[in-house]
Chains A and B, each alone.
Chain A
Amino acid sequence: MDKYIETPITDEVINNLKAGDFVFITGTIYTARDAAHKRMYETLRNQEKLPIDLKNNIIYYMGPSPAREGRPIGSAGPTTSSRMDKYAPELLDLGLKGMIGKGKRSKEVIDAIKRNNAVYFASIGGAGALLSKSIKESKVIAYDDLGAEAIRELKVENFPAIVVIDHDGTNLYEQR
């Protein structure tokens, strides 16, 4: 089913999302991939404050190609989520509600999704040009020195994704 959702994402919306749904996301989402996750993890270990507010928000596992003049962003498709599995459960426990990436997740992540009533979306890997069209603004808000791996705040309009693991833990990759 096609569903249109907005961020921040509420429990009511999450309860209504089922594995296999096509969603179109509008609002603010944050990008973070390997290096940014590592740094957030270290920040938490040092009992410092994270650079983004996780509560009810979505992290997109993505590091874009550079934007040409006059454009908000370059190519912007998902990276493999499993590399973030080590860090995701803690972020979910801190209020993160959604993740967008591609590929399978670990049992620990799926448990954390269920525990926190969250959701895992996939966007289409290798469709970065197409996906960039739904990104209207992009701003680096932390870890600028990481280049493509910096944390970005994106304004998205009808960003297409597919619910792969819903709040019950139902997993589309296992259902084929």
Chain B
Amino acid sequence: MREINVDKITEIVKEMCINVNHFLSEDMREAYKNAYDSETSEIGKKILGQLQENLEIAGEEMIPICQDTGMAVFFVNVGQEVHITGGNLTDAINEGVRQGYVEGYLRKSVVSDPIIRKNTNDNTPAIIHYDIVEGDKIEITLAPKGFGSENMSKIYMLKPADGIEGVKEAILSAVKDAGPNACPPMVLGVGIGGTFEKCALLAKKALTRKAGEHSQTEYVKELEIEMLEKINRLNIGPAGLGGKNTAFAVNIETYATHIAGLPVAINICCHVNRHITKEI
């Protein structure tokens, strides 16, 4: 058994919150650059230039990339050989979020109840998804999620007979509906299969995959490539003002499902697709 103290987890989570809201990962910065180079619309190119400038200013002056610093979504892989000491893991993560968002000048965007809507003033609680894995480490992925794009996400319970064509239609219609609201160029996380909640979770997790990396399953990889091309022909473009860069990436995850079903979830993320992973 390897022991890990909760204070260490809190400290790391706090740093992750601050870091992820000021610096995009290398794959995302690469995606911005490729989009800028390939954009043919004059207005689209101008906007992509400004988005790159925004990233520079954010990092240099420590101003969050976007004012919506999101709801803190975590994927935590806990090694079964790990013994957590000094407290409770969920509390430790929430304490890290609290410290990161308060001390890091990040926006507090969470209300404690969906109807009463009172701000919690520290951006907690976080949304935490745990997995128990082999080994003696904890791997924490944080992907703060802004709601301009979250609100445009969709879930469809298709019929098996709808097949892959039904999936393609679902993805395209979600992107069309999202349009300028989702701050394009977007990143799409798609979950296919599982149950109602499993496909949504797959879609969310797919957003944390590196932009430009493809599925290991051949037909899924082909679908990712085909859908990215189709989406980029919709002429929604940067900021929804036209152009060929409507999406940076389409990341699809699949899972076993029931004989009677074909669930599809499309989790839309904006160009500020923040994700960071740390291993303890």
Contact = CB atoms under 8 A, between A and B. Distances in A.
Interface of A: 35, 62-68, 74-77, 79-80, 82, 102-104, 122, 124-130, 132-133, 146-149, 162, 172-173, 176
Interface in B91-141: 105-109, 117, 119, 121
A149 B55 CA distance: 24
B181 interface: yes
B89 interface: no
B interface: dominant SS: loop
Which 4 residue pairs spanning A and B have beta carbons closest together? A125-B183, A103-B181, A176-B242, A75-B67
Given A62-B67, A66-B106, A103-B179, 12 more contacts: A74-B63, A103-B240, A104-B180, A125-B239, A127-B54, A128-B54, A128-B64, A129-B64, A130-B57, A162-B241, A173-B241, A176-B236
Contact of B65 (A103, A129, A146, A173): A129
A36 B6 CA distance: 39
B69 interface: yes
A148 B108 contact: yes
Contacts of B82: none
B58 interface: yes
A103 B180 contact: yes
A65 B107 contact: yes
Given A77-B67, A176-B237, A127 B51 contact: yes
A129 B57 contact: yes
Interface of B: 47, 50-51, 53-55, 57-58, 61-69, 105-109, 117, 119, 121, 146, 148, 151, 179-181, 183, 235-237, 239-242, 270-272
A129 B54 contact: yes
Nearest to A172: B241
Contacts of B241: 122, 162, 172-173, 176
B161 to A, nearest CB: 33
Nearest to A127: B54
A172 B270 CA distance: 20
17 contacts: A65-B105, A65-B107, A67-B105, A74-B63, A75-B69, A103-B179, A103-B180, A122-B180, A124-B50, A124-B51, A126-B66, A126-B272, A128-B63, A129-B66, A148-B67, A148-B108, A173-B240
A150 B175 CA distance: 32
A116 to B, nearest CB: 23
A147 B239 CA distance: 27
